[in-house]
Structures are given as C-alpha cells and as structure tokens.
Amino acid sequence: MKALLALEDGRTFQGYAFGTEGEVGGEVVFDTGMTGYQEILTDPSFRGQIVTMTYPLIGNYGLNSQDSESSRPQVEALIVREKSAIYSSWRGEETLEEYFKRHNLLGLERVDTRALTKHIRERGALRGVISTQDLDPASLVEKARQIPPMIGRDLVKEVTTSMPYVWQEQGKFSIAVIDCGVKFNILRELAKRNCRVVVYPATYSAKEIMKENPQGVLLSNGPGDPATLFYLVELVREIMGEIPVLGICIGHQIMAQAVGGKTFKLKFGHHGANHPVKDLRSGWVAVTTQNHGFVVDPTTLPSEIEITHLNLNDSTLEGMKHKRLPFFSVQFHPEAHPGPHDTAYLFDEFIKMVEDNLG
C-alpha cells in the first residue's frame, strides 16, 4: 500500500507501508547501525521518534525472542530502503513483516533513505507524519507541525515501570535501577556481576528507594528532554554522597543537572553503533552505541566534576565523574558493546565503587 512521509518543513517522501496501515507521527531521526534493528525497535529511548535506518537492507537475519530491549516496540514507526522478505539466521524466529504485523506497527519501505538522511543532517531532526490514509502533502505537513516538539517533553513517565520489580533476586551487591526507560541489557550486565537487581519507577522518591537499603543506584537511559526531569534531579541530589551512583544516557544528563550543569539539544542527535569515544583517563578509544538527542554542556559543570570521556566526531561530552564522591556517568551505552566488549568495563568500575564504598 502506498504511503507518504511529510516533514514539518514541507519536504515529502513517498514509499510503501508494511506491517499495518494508518497514520503515525513523531520526530524523524536516522540511525547509522548496520545491525541491531530489533534492539532499536524496542529501545525505550526512541519513544516519540520515527527511526530511519541508513543501512539499506533491514530484516535479513530476522527477529527473535531474546534480543528485545523492552517488552514491546517503542518506536513510532520505522523507515527503511528495503525490507528483507526472508531471513537467514539460526537465531531468527520471524520476519520483519511478521513482527510488525504482530505488534500492529507501521513501517515504510522503498524510501530514498539516503536523501532523507542528508536532509535531516542539513535541517536537523524534524517532526513528521507517515500515513496510508491521507496522501495529501499539504494536509500531512500541517499535521506534522502540530506534533509537540521534543524540547520540553517528559517522555520518561510514558515508559517507566508502574511498580517496582525484581530482575534478579540473589546477588552479592544490591543495586537499585531507576527506570527512565531502561534497556534489558543494562539489567543483564548487572546480573552477570553478581548483583541483586531491583527496578524502580522514575517517579519514586529517594526516601522510597533508600528505605530498601540499596548499595548502589543506576539511573538508566530514557527518552525526551532531560531538562523536564526535575523530580529525578532532586532524587539524585538527595542520594549523591550516600551510595555510589552510575548514570547512563539520560541518567548521565540527570546527574549533570544535579550538580548544576545544563543540557541542550543536538541538531540531529547521535543514533548508531559506530561512534568513537575517547577515555581521557587511559587514552583508549572505543566504538560505542549511542541513542540520544540531548547532551550536557561541559562549560556549565562545576569544578568538582572531571570530564572523563569525549566524542571524537564532534567533541561533545561523553562521560564525567565527581572528584570526591562515588558518582560517575556516561552518555553512550556501555551495555550495548558493539565491538563486542568495548566499554563493558564501566560496569566493573561501578561494582568496584560499590565494593569500596562498603569498606
């Protein structure tokens, strides 16, 4: 079925729908990962966004029941150049088309994704609408302009768990994970390191979390504008210095605000599995997975914060730590390790920090 993508600046792209029919809107971004489309589809950090894959063939190794990063798809829609009708992998269980139909998810294929990506790079991330029902460009462009902008949106409350739950019951260390849109692999990495892992709603107070006596706190990744998350900033201010804290992605941005830093929106964000990041402490460069539209302004950080990681593409801040307190964070995703190990050592650093804090 024919479908149309319309962007808020008036640019339109024709294609063909797969999965389901209908109309969806969101901020249109591009992801440069060559693989990992199942993880992208289910990453809560993509809530409110339509994702364009720059790699031209998507779906060739299928989807399975093990690789999802949350319990359901999180993207608003997916745009691809070509959808593979078959898959070839011993781990594959269904095709991309079957997955989209099962989840009532809208996809768009046979789009000039190269032209769309270049347009986003030039103009920045844009609000857009995909429709199989309304193929009038002027009408769809106006609908795109009515979508709330990402700046000022709190999407964490849409993806966080409604109640606490235990991911792993037994473990040497007790870790509380604040669910801002946590990816399952973050929980798996903690579990592999002999941790009791309990996940809490982002709306819980510091008092509610600390009464369970966790030995460390991890603030997860998540979607939306970090500047709206004042309740999480206050939570961090109340617990920092008490027990070790690690932040990942939006968790990093929350921690930066807790010490007085500010965030700003990137032109088109960092989305992909091939972003080089330098650890300034060791000089080691890792290829990282990233998914964020906002970053911390390093010039707003106080003197007690040390910058530990930098993005080698655009020199944006990728990591920081407190000079006195057990408190550090990274903008990228150490749990994704596309290399396949890369920055997983940061979880080891966190566990050592927890162990040292216990004396």
Partners of 285 in the β-ladder: 278
The yes-or-no answer on residue 335 being catalytic is: yes
For the chain, what percentages of helix, strand and coil (3-state, to nearest 5) are there? 25, 35, 40
The active-site residue, picked from 270, 322, 333, 337, is 333
CA distance 85 to 87: 7
Using alpha carbons, select from 19, 30, 56, 7 the residue that is nearest to residue 132. 19
Q: CA-CA distance, 269 to 282, in Å (whole number)? A: 26
H/E run at residue 254: helix 250-258
Q: Is 341 noted as a catalytic residue in this protein?
A: no
At which residue do the structure tokens 């990402």 appear?
A: 150
Determine phi and psi for 172, rounding to 5 degrees: -70, -35
Residues 6+ positions from 59 with CB-CB distance below 8 Å: 37, 80, 83, 84, 85, 87, 95, 96, 97
H or E stretch at 218: strand 216-219
Structure tokens at 130: 């995909």
Q: Of 296, 338, 303, which is closest to residue 319 (Cα–Cα)?
A: 296
Burial class (CB in 10 A: 0-12, 13-18, 19+), 242: middle
Assess contact for 283 and 295: CB atoms under 8 A: no
Is residue 319 within 8 A of residue 279, CB to CB? The reply is yes
The one catalytic residue among 249, 252, 271, 322: 249
249 is catalytic: yes
Helix (H, G, I), strand (E, B) or coil at 227: helix
In 10 A of CB 2, how many CB atoms?
A: 10
Active site residues: 249, 333, 335
